[in-house]
Amino acid sequence: MTTSAEGVSDGIHNAVLRDIAWLLETPDLVSLGHYPGRPPPSTLGLAERPWAWINTLLPQVEALNGKLATRMGHYHERLWQLLLDNAPNTRLLANNLRIHQRRITLGELDMLYRTRKNPAPVHLEVAIKFYLGLPEGPGEATSQSRWIGPGGLDSLALKCSHLLHHQLPLSRTPGALANITHWLAPRDVGETAALSDHLTQQLAMPGVLFYPWQANLPPPAGATAEHRRGWWCHQHAWPRVAERYSSALQVAWLAKPHWLAPPTLDAFGRADEQMADVMEQVNRYGPQQVMLYDPKGEESCREESCQERPLTRLMVVPNDWPRQVPLPPKRRG
């Protein structure tokens, strides 16, 4: 029986291809107003046998020869570009489309694509986010401002506000509509007003929300019911966290930009040995993400229908984390 972890088949071995598979399977973190989420596999033409198709991308990934970005946001964008430009049912029209008005740069549109049967362009914004929830902090327990990035500079509230009030509406400005028209085939170009009527906008925002390991914290407002979850703990709390698992516990350290898909089993090692190296990374660079695998946990998962390997995501942070908490976004209107 072929198993998987977080929906990623063990039959996919390349780290980049595993991250692409994870993107296809991972829900968005939040629902944002009236904007729909990411294009589903059916839109991409990957409703059936997506793993076989993903493996066909291997030559293209290998041809990049280390040219993929190492910064998380840029790497995530590149994966979506590969997806939209190669999926059976989509065509990538443009990416990182700069929008100007009177020599002033208003911003960029992450991606512009269309489907084979529908010439109407789709503006897709993408963001990959890993937020840690604070038991105490700004706002109510469900406030998005309680969920901050590992570096303490970003928050779910700030990101959602920027997307909702700037990034997504940007494609409907006159300058953007004129720029978008440039990327359409001549037969698809109509009046700017008509384009405004047919243009759609989407947001792909996968990631993980890490809950405090020893405190009850509800999901933030707007979070999807199926979002990926993990735990976070301070360095000093690791021994108590480890006590929740058997002596057979194994750990894999996730190095950026591969914070997306769980690694294959050969990346896991004994918890005591692996965590010594992880703690050194925490001391030098700050929060680190690891994956916990307890083989004993599979003893309750022997049924033929159980095909998911039991894994847990954990973010380990310095003992003095967070050193700063971002202010909530300014209220509008």
Helices 72-86 and 15-25: crossing angle, nearest 10°? 80
Tokens of 149: 């990035």
Read off the tokens for 268. Answer: 């896991």
Q: Which residues, at least 6 apart from 284, have a Cβ–Cβ distance to it below 8 Å?
A: none
Convert 164-192 into a string of H (helix), E (strand) and C (coil): HHHHCHHHHCHHHHHHHHHCCCHHHCCCH
Q: How many residues does the chain have?
A: 333
What is the CB neighbour count within 10 angstroms for residue 38?
22
The two structure tokens encoding residue 32: 């944002």
- pLDDT at position 218 over 80: yes
- Over residues 41-63, mean pLDDT: 91
What percent of the chain lies above the pLDDT cut of 70?
92
- Block residue for tokens 């570009």: 81
| pLDDT at 308 > cutoff 70 | no
At 96 the three-state DSSP class reads: strand
Strand pairing partners for 4? 9, 308
Q: Which residues contact 255 (CB under 8 A, 6 or more apart)?
A: none
- 284 φ, ψ (degrees, to nearest 5): -90, -40
Which tokens belong to 159?
């990101």
Q: Is the pLDDT of residue 196 over 80?
A: no
Task: Using the predicted structure, report yes or no on whether residue 189 has a pLDDT greater than 80.
Answer: no
Tell me the two tokens of residue 179: 């720029």
What's the whole-model pTM score? 0.93
Number of Cβ within a 10 Å radius of residue 65: 7
In this prediction, residues 230-256 reach a mean pLDDT of 97
Q: How confident is the model at residue 288 (pLDDT cuts 50, 70, 90)?
A: very high
Return the pLDDT at 197: 73
How is residue 220 written in tokens? 């933030």
Q: What is the mean pLDDT of the chain?
A: 90
Q: Which helix (H) or strand (E) holds 78?
A: helix 72-86
HSE on the CB side for 262, CA within 13 Å?
A: 28
Alpha-carbon span 9 to 269, nearest angstrom: 20
Residue 327 burial (10 A CB sphere; 0-12, 13-18, 19+):
exposed
Q: How confident is the model at residue 192 (pLDDT cuts 50, 70, 90)?
A: very low
The amino acid at residue 162 is H
